[in-house]
Structure 1
Amino acid sequence: MRVLHFVTGGFSGATKVAIDLVEAHNQIQSTENLLVLRRKKTTVPEKLAELEEKNVDYRVITGATHIATVQELKKLCEKWQPDILVAHGFPEHLLGRRAGLLAKVPHLVQVEHNSKERYTPWKLYQTRKLSKSTARIVAVSEGVAQVLSQQGLKAPIQAIPNGIDTARFGGAELFQVTERPKDIIMVGRYAKSKDHVTLIKALYQLKKRGINSTLTLVGSGGKRYQKEIHNLVKGYDLQNQVTFIEYSNEVEKLLLQHKIFVMSSRFEGLNLAVLEAMASGCIVVGSTAMGVKELIDDKKDGFLFPVGAAAELADIIATVLSNPSNYQALATAAREKVLVHYDKKQVTQAYYQLFQDLLTSH
């Protein structure tokens, strides 16, 4: 079985999932796997070096124009001859399936990683048309599956929730919340959908109450939005409280140092960073956005606050920081949930079974 995964080279959550699948399926002797990245500004040598360390076979193709991407991927498919082409995320699932059709790849699979994408009427027409030639559409959560079911697609839709490496996050060095020296962390790319603004506003409200909590922001992404967040931090005079880390290959260690993890997104597919924080024993606070709220049982294994509600977020953080030991049980319950339901071994096995089923049915 030869499987080609096509995904953004921006190293987003979708890229993570594709890498995990290739890495896991490489352990199966009957499977050959190729990761194809559409070049972005954040397709940097450090991240590609990590792929080489993991022995992931990859190619980087142009992202200059959509037509150029499709043509280059078509030629690569004709040369590599995959049995299955898995196109992850938007707009890559449109470009990947178009290239796969032109190259006559036997089985096309779309993986939708988000609950809200920029589907213009023309893009929606394209995805409906491509669905007629698609063997399976995979949604990364039940919420995303519900959104897809309203698009008028012709291919079968299957939900396979994303998962994480539970051995990497948390592990044997799991610290109690009270033993962690730093207060708050958020891991996420800079995009308006992640809504860092609400978190910064909440931090400022805490400062006005005399609570000078520390915040670590980990991620890269849109430079304009990143500059907006830096300016907001300066405007609120929070520079001494906020640490910016643009890229880290040791996120698991950073999570272990923090008491609270915040995900302030406006929408998601299924947020891997939330799962990583839960596995790491953080007290997780998430917005009620789709793709976040499904993961957190409010006041049982974390906290939820309304999307964009800085005051409510500040209240939750203040409550937790006033006596973190009171909420250790929530952090423990969150880790147990991830171990049982969101280990990536279950995810990779589900995808492998899907691929086997496609080949068998053919």
Structure 2
Amino acid sequence: MKVLHFVTGGFSGATKVAVDLITAHNQIESVESLLVLRRKKTTVAKKLTELDQIGVDYRIVTGSTHLATVYELKQLCEQWQPDILVAHGFPEHLLGRRAGLLAKVPHLVQVEHNSRERYTPWKRYQTCQLSKATDTVVAVSEGVAQVLAQQNLQAPIQAIANGIDTTRFGGVNLLPITDRPQDLIMVGRYAKSKDHVTLIKAMHKLKQKGVMPNLTLVGDGRARYKKEVKALVESYALESQVNFIDYSSEVDKLLLQHKVFVMSSRFEGLNLAVLEAMASGCVVIGSTAVGVEELINDKQDGFLFQIGDARQLADTIELVLSNPAEYQPLAEAAREKALKKYDKSHVSQAYYELFQQLLEG
């Protein structure tokens, strides 16, 4: 079984899922996997070195134009001859399946990682047309599956929830919330969909009330949006409270130092950072966005706030930090859920079974 995974070289959540699948399937003798990245500005040597270190076989195709990407990927498919091409995310699922059709790859799979993408009418038309030649469309959450069900796709839709490496996040002898030295953390790329702005506004409202927690922001992404977030921090005079970390290979260690994890997204596919924080024993506060809301039972294993509601977010942060010990049971319940339901071994097994069905069917 030869499986080619095509995904953005931006090392987003979609890239992480593809890498995790390949790493897991590399342990199966009957599976040969190849990762193909569409070059982006953030396809940097440091991240590629990490792929080498974990033994992921990868190639890079141009990202200069969509036409050039399809041409290079078609040639690569003709050389490598995969049985299955898995195209992750937008617009890669359009480019990947187009190249796969041209190269006569036997089986095509689309993986939709988000609940809302920048589809023009033309892109939507392409998606529907390509679905006729697609074996299966995989949604990374039930919320995404519900969105896809409204798009008149011709291929069957299957939900396979994303998962995390529960052996990496958390571990044994976790510090209780009260003993953790840092207050708030958010891990996510800089993009409007992540809505860092609402979190910074919540920090400002807390400061006005005399509550001044520290906040760690981890992630890279769009320079323009990051500049906007930094400018907002400066305008509210929050520089002493907010620590920016562009990229870290030790997010697992950072999470263990923080009491509260915040995810202020406006929309998602299924947010892996939320699951990592749950497994790490943080109290998780998330927005009611698709891909976040379904992970959290409000006031049972975390807290939910309405998308974009900085005041509600500020009130929830203040509530938790005023008496962290009271919310230790929520952190423990969240950790148990992440370990039982969202371990990535379940995900890799589900994809392997799907691939087997395609080849047998």
Q: TM-score range by the shorter chain?
A: over 0.9
Tell whether 2:280 aligns with 1:280.
yes
The aligned residue for residue 82 of structure 1 is 82
Give, in angstroms, the shift of residue 137 of structure 1: 0.4
The aligned residue for residue 191 of structure 1 is 191
Give the Cα separation in 1 of the matches to 2:354 and 2:11. Answer: 24
The aligned residue for residue 68 of structure 1 is 68
The aligned residue for residue 151 of structure 2 is 151
Give the Cα separation in 2 of the matches to 1:193 and 1:325. Answer: 32
Tell whether 2:168 aligns with 1:129.
no
Give the Cα separation in 1 of the matches to 2:132 and 2:173. Answer: 49
Give the Cα separation in 2 of the matches to 1:13 and 1:265. Answer: 14
The aligned residue for residue 211 of structure 1 is 211
Over 3 Å off, 4+ runs: none
Please list the CA deviations of residues 114-140 of structure 1 after superposition, one character each: whole Å capped at 9, or x if unmatched.
001111110010000000000100000
SS at match of 1:238: coil
TM-score by length of 2: 0.99
Give, in angstroms, the shift of residue 212 of structure 1: 1.1
The aligned residue for residue 34 of structure 1 is 34
* Partner AA of 1:85 in structure 2: L
The aligned residue for residue 337 of structure 1 is 337
Give the Cα separation in 1 of the matches to 2:320 and 2:146. Answer: 34
SS at match of 1:164: coil
Mapping of 1:187-336 within 5 angstroms?
187-336=187-336
Give the Cα separation in 2 of the matches to 1:19 and 1:173. Answer: 29
TM-score by length of 1: 0.99
SS at match of 2:172: helix
Give, in angstroms, the shift of residue 175 of structure 1: 1.5
Give the Cα separation in 1 of the matches to 2:195 and 2:133. Answer: 36
SS at match of 1:307: coil
The aligned residue for residue 356 of structure 1 is 356
The aligned residue for residue 57 of structure 1 is 57
Please list the CA deviations of residues 191-224 of structure 1 after superposition, one character each: whole Å capped at 9, or x if unmatched.
0010000000000111111111000000000000
Give, in angstroms, the shift of residue 29 of structure 1: 0.6
* Partner AA of 1:29 in structure 2: E
* Partner AA of 1:275 in structure 2: L
Give, in angstroms, the shift of residue 252 of structure 1: 0.2
Give, in angstroms, the shift of residue 173 of structure 1: 4.5
Give the Cα separation in 1 of the matches to 2:142 and 2:317. Answer: 29
RMSD of the TM alignment (CA)?
0.5
SS at match of 1:172: coil
Give, in angstroms, the shift of residue 54 of structure 1: 0.3
Query: Which runs of 5 or more residues in structure 2 are unaligned?
Result: none
Give the Cα separation in 1 of the matches to 2:173 and 2:238. Answer: 31
Give the Cα separation in 2 of the matches to 1:41 and 1:230. Answer: 21
SS at match of 1:337: helix
Give the Cα separation in 2 of the matches to 1:162 and 1:53. Answer: 23
- Alignment coverage as a number of residue pairs: 361
